[in-house]
Amino acid sequence: MLAKRTAGAITDRKAATIIGVLYIIGTASGVLGLAIMPSFAAGTDILAQIASHRTATVVGALLVLSMGFALSAIPAVFYPIGRRFSEVLSMGYVIFRGALEGMTYVIAAFIWLVLIALSAEPSAAAQTATLLQTAERVVWEQLVALPFVIGALMFYWVLYGARLVPRWLSIWGLAGAVLYFAAPLARMAGLSLDFLMAPLAVQEMVLALWLIIRGFSSDALASDGDSGSRRAT
């Protein structure tokens, strides 16, 4: 029994480290990808911009795709741990932040890659490019936020209820997710409140470092989710 618990603890510790590393890889890839991409402001000749910054656009699209893969893998790694405390919320986390959010990154990267192909024939593809640019902006600025926030709320509620990490860190994540969702809603109203995304962005990096250095709470893991006071449902 002791050997079994020890082996499980090692597996849980590795999972925590992997999740922390994936958070860092995903965030770094996304920030770098968006930083090197040219700015595709509405009303500009997007195909001309891509044609003159082709390499940067390709690399940027691939980095954003890498971000999507890294962040989508986190729910899969967390699920075996989270389901001990709440299978419903843990599965919801997999669906929203794994499948649905990951799909939006794939769609955004696909649109950029199509635009890169269209940039070779700008005169024949201008109308299509404008439509794709609009679709990409909607996906990136509004659509991705919904599965991201719903999944984040499920994830942090499991962490909070199970005490897998300090509760102040879980509460920070819950509050940050609510603030994060306010930013795309404000964009639809013509307001710029993107600074509201910052608290969750910082929290995820703090959580990543915590998981790499400390891992999940050994006391919470030892309970295997059997204690009613620690259930997240």
What confidence score (pLDDT) does residue 48 get?
A: 76
Instruction: Outline where the chain has alpha helix (H).
Output: 2-36, 46-52, 54-82, 87-93, 101-118, 122-138, 145-162, 167-188, 198-213, 218-223
Question: How far, in whole angstroms, is CA 210 from its chain's centroid?
Answer: 18
DSSP state of 229: G
Amino acid occupying residue 125: A
DSSP state of 195: G
Using CA atoms, how far residue 115 sits from 41, 42, 101, in Å, is 14, 14, 22
Q: Please give the backbone phi and psi of residue 229, each rounded to the nearest 5 degrees, phi first.
A: -70, -15
| Contact by Cβ (8 Å): 114, 69 | no
Classify 197 as helix, strand or coil.
Answer: helix
The predicted-structure confidence for 87-145, as pLDDT tens digits, reads as follows 899 999 999 888 888 888 888 887 777 777 777 666 656 666 666 766 766 666 666 78
What confidence score (pLDDT) does residue 21 get?
A: 95
What confidence score (pLDDT) does residue 203 get?
A: 95
What confidence score (pLDDT) does residue 43 get?
A: 59
Classify 50 as helix, strand or coil.
Answer: helix
- Tokens describing residue 223: 């309970």
Q: Please give the backbone phi and psi of residue 63, each rounded to the nearest 5 degrees, phi first.
A: -70, -40
**pTM higher than the cut 0.85:** no
Higher local confidence (pLDDT), 165 or 57: 165
Higher local confidence (pLDDT), 214 or 126: 214
What confidence score (pLDDT) does residue 160 get?
A: 94
The DSSP element (H or E) to which 144 belongs, if any, is none
Largest alpha-carbon pair distance within the chain? 70
Q: Looking at the predicted structure, is the pLDDT value of residue 1 above 70?
A: no
- Tokens describing residue 70: 């890294």
- Domains of the chain, residue spans: 2-223
The predicted-structure confidence for 24-79, as pLDDT tens digits, reads as follows 999 999 899 888 887 766 556 777 777 788 888 888 888 988 998 999 999 999 99
- Tokens describing residue 34: 């968006």
Which candidate, 48, 14, 232, places its Cα nearest to that of 122?
48
What confidence score (pLDDT) does residue 78 get?
A: 94
The owner of tokens 């965030």 is: 27
Q: Please give the backbone phi and psi of residue 164, each rounded to the nearest 5 degrees, phi first.
A: -70, -25
Query: How far is residue 146's CA from residue 117's CA, in Å, rounded to a whole number?
Result: 29
Count the residues in the chain: 233
> What is the band of 179 on the pLDDT scale with cuts at 50, 70, 90?
very high
Q: Looking at the predicted structure, is the pLDDT value of residue 5 above 60?
A: no
